[in-house]
Structure 1
Amino acid sequence: MLKNLKLKLVAAAALLLSSTAFAGIGNFPGDGSVGNPYELGAIGPTPTTLSALLIGTTGSAFEEYANFTIPTFSSTTGSASTLFLSLGGFVVNDINDFVVEVWDSTHPLGTTLIATFTDDGLTHSLGDLLPGQYHLDISGVLGANLGQYSVSLQALPVPEPETYAMLLAGLGLIGFSLRKRQLA
């Protein structure tokens, strides 16, 4: 039985090592390619997470793309992570030099780089983004024949100046009523 398992592992490893094509499989429409980027839709207060599995040759570079929309003026954040998996000292799943770039407009029309972040486990501010179309350029190098990554985006609407004016007016009325109560 153990011999059979070893034979299956060797066969699986041989198949992985013989693969030369690059393929990405994600959880959104599209395949991440130049002509068919992932379509993330509208980004809002609930985090939107793109997860993708890559299959290719160890040491091969990859670049994937994802379009998204910011519906209202929003303070936007992003984070990324990659999965490292080693079985018995054999690296099965790894991505090196992982970088996510945020560009204006849809791919490939973006001309302004807005932000760059990596898979450092931190949440990065992308700044206050105006309503409109944006895209991600996701790149790296496969450290094994498999690679897996996740990129999360979140957009929290920024209050307009009128909101702050109403807040200050309300606090002023509360202060006025408390002062009037103390004088009485």
Structure 2
Amino acid sequence: MNTSFFAKVAGSALIAVSMFAAASASAATTVLNFNGESASFSATYGPGVASFSDDFLFNVPAASTSDPVGTVTLSATKVGKFLVPTINNTSLSFFKINADHSHTALDTTYDANGFYLASVLPTGMYGFNFAGNIKNVAKGGSYGGTLTMNVSAVPEPGTYAMLVAGLGLLAFTARRKASK
């Protein structure tokens, strides 16, 4: 009977420690689903979560480039007459996913107006990481945002060949008229 009691106490302690460790930090990876050129992203964290670090992945289609921009809205709670965000110390950074699944950081701007990259993205797999801390661990917090992909088609080599051929025909016609 004594062994059973100690086994139950040890099992309960092990479960409690594992739950606390899992709740103290949270990480998720989500592939964004675009509706046209934009996709929404969000996460909600309940009581017990102290910090989070979430990756959102997306693809720039073949034969195109993209200039992604976005916004993030943090949940807020009323304290007296003021609304106070439930999340603080946030950071957002874009990265390129390489062929070996490693990440290369990209120059990202994230401020009160939103987030964007310093350069246009060529075809490939990319993502961004949004991380922060929950102000009141007993209550939790949430955020949401939108990523807009301003996609531009890149002309195929055949298009350039047709352009050069057309310009050549125009030059030939102009030269022929000038010689008459």
Shift of 1:170: 2.0
Equivalent residue in structure 1 for 2:55, among 40, 56, 65: 65
Residue among 93, 100, 108 paired with 1:116? 108
Q: Which runs of 5 or more residues in structure 2 are unaligned? A: 1-22
In structure 2, the residue matched to 1:28 is none
- For 1:97, the equivalent position in structure 2 comes to 90
What pairs up with 1:85-164 in 2 under 5 angstroms?
Answer: 85=76, 87=78, 88-92=81-85, 94-105=87-98, 109-119=101-111, 120-121=113-114, 123-131=116-124, 133-142=125-134, 145-154=140-149, 155-164=151-160
1:25-50 Cα deviation digits (max 9, x unpaired): xxxxxxx71xxx21225x79x42313
Q: 1:162-173 alignment to 2 at 5 Å?
A: 162-173=158-169
TM-score by length of 1: 0.57
TM (norm. structure 2) is 0.57
| Equivalent position amino acid for 1:90 in 2 | L
Structure 1 position 47 matched with structure 2 position 26: no
Q: Percent identity?
A: 21
Q: Structure 1 residues 170 and 117 mapped into 2: Cα distance closer, same or farther (>3 Å)? A: same
Report the number of matched residues: 151
1:78–1:152 contact (8 Å) kept in structure 2: yes
Aligned-partner residue type, residue 40 of structure 2: L
Check whether the contact 1:60–1:141 (CA below 8 A) recurs between aligned residues: yes
Whole-Å separation in 2 of the counterparts to 1:22 and 1:56: 11
1:116–1:60: structure 2 CA closer, same or farther, 3 Å change rule?
A: farther
Distance in 2, Cα, partners of 1:142 & 1:164: 53
Change (3 A) 1:138 1:97: closer
User: Shift of residue 182 of structure 1?
Assistant: 7.0
